[in-house]
Chains A and B, each alone.
Chain A
Amino acid sequence: MSGLKILVPVKRVLDYALKPRIKSNKIDLTGQKQSLNPFDEIAIEEAVRLRDRHTKKTSPAAIASITAISLGPAKAADSLRTALAMGADNAIHILTAEDVDLEPLSVAKVLAHIVKEEGSNVVLCGKQTISDDSAQTGPMLAGLLGWAQVTQIAAVKFVDGETAEVTREVDGGNETLKAKVPMVLTTDLRLNEPRYATLPNIMKAKKKPLKKTNLADLGLELAPRMRNVKVEEPPPRKGGVKVEDVDGMIAKLKELGAL
């Protein structure tokens, strides 16, 4: 094997610190700050760190390339530039219509297509987007490709070019698995602390290759399986009371039947 070819899917989403606005049965993103999905940022960071760790001749696994990919409208290119500035080698932008948010199954099918085209053998993606919160694309892609999958990873260590020991977060703690290339890994928050793209790297990223294509050119037609019936505000919680002291708190909790 000539090394690991890592594909990192990234998505541009409403910035994590913002509360979504709901307008006419949709999430209204107009004029709202959008950023790279935090879990995808962690995925890019991990790919770059893997390469840094594996630069020596004696290293167990060489990283041949890191390709960032995004499916989305024109602005998704911004997220890809961020990924390039963080250290990805090249990027692929699959342009989709402004008002279309592809379902995880469709995204997984497109990614499976690209994986074959690019000859990728490791896909490193976020465990979920913070917009849709589905947490499906990674394991779906692994299923479509028949690859190994390790989701919600907290640590990854390649023991050679074929095998990685991967620790994943599970309910009640963590577990460690030994997975074989090719594989899909999905990142959890604890995996790493993503770097900030420095200005020189942002400048350099502008010169890195960013290939643009679209679903029609790829020959993919993906009908949605879901219809969004409605989007609503969650029921508001009634404003509570502030109490003066601990006794007041205990009394109030008793009154509310919580004690």
Chain B
Amino acid sequence: MLSTRSTTVLRQARFQFRSSLFSATPQFTSYARLLSSLAILEQRDGKLNGSSLAAVTAAQKLGGPIHAFVAGAGTKAVAEEAAKVEGIEKILYVDSAAYDKGLAESFAPLVVENIKKGGYTHVLAGHSAFGKNLMPRVAALLDSQGISDITAIEGEDTFVRPIYAGNAILTVQSQDSIKIITVRGTAFPAAEPTSGTATVEEGVDPKDATTTEWLTENLTKSDRPELASAGRVVSGGRGLKSKEEFDRIMPPLADALGAAIGASRAAVDSGFADNSLQVGQTGKNVAPQLYLCAGISGAIQHLAGMKDSKVIAAINKDPEAPIFQVADVGLVGDLFDKVPELTEKLKQ
């Protein structure tokens, strides 16, 4: 009896809560502008970074017209390629070597000028190293609280994002008039350039200077698919024991599957694999069709980066390893026997 009553009370409370939400909405819309989005695209050496088109996919979910923005040396060509993405109305480009390396000190005011000119309500970029560096600075310049790493859009002001290494899912409602958003690439598959016919136009260039200077870069060269967007990922952990063993065991398996290679933090910290291969809360988020890992125990920080994978397979000699609680297919065994055997059998 008591439980029934309390449920009703709860229901009533919920109803009141909801109706108060509804009454709040018109206040907003009375001075809200018509929704329009700007997607910030990334380029490197005059080539479009395809995964940054995730920002366009997210913008499509919002509705309203979508413009895209790209800046750097020779970006007219990048703009013309991105113009083929369906749903984009206009691409703004700023062709200037000053913005080539995406230094936030000058890139943020550049983006802000173009936001102001276009009157956008939503500005989106990928939650990549570039987006993470740039967008909070843009948000601060506009006095807006940015919204990081969203995985879903519930409404024009309501967004879903993982917190606590993906162990909790937070839904937030933003009251800022311009929403500055970074999107999780694995939650919004990048739009493909196909038969779109966006107009290509030059953006405004405030020519803000920065005292920060770009010196060098050191990028891992690889013919394998890019980790964050690969359909298949094979990942190695501490169980690989050394860099030599990691390099002996993991690449052949990756090649047999056409997969990207990832690593746990333990493997990266021990020097088995490069930092840029780290999967987890502090590394990359991946959500491939297949995530096959060997010698990874499955600490929560690692799971944060891969537990949205479609199928998880794990090889580990410890039957109690937490990875087996999330793995769809688990094999208890010594990876030094099992992985080469698997590689051989996959090649056949």
Residues of A within 8 A of B (CB): 14, 16-17, 19-20, 22, 27, 103-105, 108, 128, 130-144, 148-152, 154, 165, 168-180, 188-190, 224-234, 237-250, 252-253, 256-259
Determine the chain A residues whose CB is within 8 A of the CB of B332 once the complex forms.
242
> Which residue of chain A lies nearest to B171 when distances are taken between CB atoms in the complex?
A229
Asked if residues A171 and B137 are in contact (CB atoms below 8 Å), the reply is: no
Q: Which residue of B lies closest to A16 (CB)?
A: B301
- The reply to whether A256 and B213 form a contact with Cβ atoms under 8 Å apart is no
Q: Cα distance A139–B141 when bound, in Å?
A: 10
- Which residues in A have their C-beta under 8 angstroms from that of B172? 226-229
| Distance in Å: Cβ of B255 to nearest Cβ of chain A | 15
B interface residue count range (under 10 / 10 to 19 / 20 to 34 / 35 or more): 35 or more
Which 7 A/B pairs are nearest by Cβ-Cβ distance? A143-B140, A173-B219, A143-B137, A136-B136, A240-B328, A225-B145, A258-B311
Interface of B is mostly: mixed
Given contacts A136-B136, A142-B137, A228-B170, contact A173 B165 (CB under 8 A): no
B: residues with CB less than 8 A from A are 101, 103-105, 108, 128-130, 132-141, 143-149, 158, 161-176, 210-220, 226, 228, 232, 257, 265, 268-269, 274-276, 281-282, 284, 289-290, 300-301, 307, 310-313, 315, 319, 324-333, 338, 341-342, 345-346
A171-B129, A173-B274 in contact; A104/B145 too (CB < 8 A)? yes
Of chain A, the residue at the smallest CB distance from B280 is: A189
| Nearest CB of A to B183, in Å | 14
Do the beta carbons of B342 and A250 come within 8 Å of each other? yes
Is B290 a contact of A152 with CB atoms below 8 Å?
A: no
Partner of A173, one of B158, B218, B327: B218
Contact at A177–B275, with CB atoms within 8 Å?
no
CB distance from A17 to the nearest CB of B (A): 8
A contact residues around B289 at 8 Å (CB):
258
State the Cβ distance, B105 to closest chain A Cβ, in Å.
6
Please tell me if the beta carbons of A241 and B168 are within 8 angstroms of each other in the complex: no
Report B157 CB to chain A, min CB distance, Å.
9
Measured between beta carbons, the chain B residues less than 8 angstroms from A170 are: 129-130, 217, 276
Judging by beta carbons under 8 Å apart, are B330 and A174 in contact? Answer: no
The smallest C-beta distance from B140 to any residue of chain A, in angstroms, reads 3
Q: Is the CB of B163 within 8 A of A133?
A: yes
Cβ–Cβ contact B136 & A169, under 8 A? no
| Cβ 8 A contact of A140, one of B136, B175, B342 | B136
Instruction: Judge whether B290 and A175 touch: CB under 8 Å.
Output: no
